[in-house]
Chains A and B, each alone.
Chain A
Amino acid sequence: MSRRLADVFAEARSENRAALIGYLPAGFPDRDTCVDLISTMVESGVDAIEVGLPYSDPLMDGAVIQEAVERALIGGTTTDVVLDTVRRVAEAGAVAVVMSYWNPIERYGVQQFAANLAKAGGVGVITPDLTPEEAGPWIAATDEHSIDRIFLVAPSSTDARIATVVSSTSGFVYAASTMGVTGARSTVSTGAGDLVARTRRQTALPIAVGLGVSTGEQAAEVATYADGVIVGSAFIRRVLEATDSSAARESVAALAREMADGVRA
């Protein structure tokens, strides 16, 4: 049996550190380089991978991820390409989840998406614009195919909302560190610690913090109170700034090592 999210967080906990989760959209900067970069991330200390499903209207994403997914879409990245990317990185040993806005999953077919993701070796899905109230068929499909279902909590979530969200969540809870869109920030919001503490009172699930983490120092700080640290835009920026794919690989590896050191600090 391949490793699942619970194993990833249990291993990290046994090492007295937070888990490191890295994000990259499928098809970015192209299909093969994406798979290659994900392998690099894993080799350099990233514990689990979020494979992004590029969507035409990413309203929770800042400029960096928008640019990456637009490129991926122009390059012809379809849902099938995303699932194939998951298959390839899972075969290479990565623990992979998909991060997707809701419409592409609904269009693909909720049952079929869960089934094909399981078949590809994916272990979970993060749905940033799906709340549990709208997730009836999704909950059934993910249960049936043993796919972890990751919903988000935000600083504005009331305790009652957090209770609702975590009761539908499995794998880990995604805590959005700040009120805003994805993208590197110079400081991770102080509200994140409070949100994690409030969430912790409602669930025994691991809690990972995303939005705005871009340096090892920030990762270390978040790791003091969260079970996982999620890094997305910072990796993408390294790729966008690299002059070629080998430079991208080196730069991504360096950032992954810095982050991996951070979660162990």
Chain B
Amino acid sequence: MAASRPIVLRTGYRGKTGMLNWALHRITGLGIVLFVGTHVFASFGMQQFGSDSATTINIVYQSWAFQVFVYFCVLFHAFNGTRLALVDLVPALLRYQRELYWLQWIIFLPAYLLPVFFLLQTGLAAR
């Protein structure tokens, strides 16, 4: 169902197709910083002190379920970032914003879903 009025975030940004990617880029980016930050400190805790809580964090991080999630964050951020960088560094591409947006999703979906299929397959088989 189409929204009856434009969707406005608290920042006042009103976008069309770009808004989904903009929000996802921020959320996945912050998620990666959070994940990598805690992972670095957890690895340090494991390595130096053999900490149980650090080991628990890293066991969660290397589970297949978490990897499906992290792979989405990293791959989406990488794909959207590539499109952004291309458009920003080669302004002539601005004419093809819409095409590039759809091209990004068309490449992203198989590049994400195919490995996820195998992650699920091996993950569920190993249970």
Q: Do A and B interact?
A: no
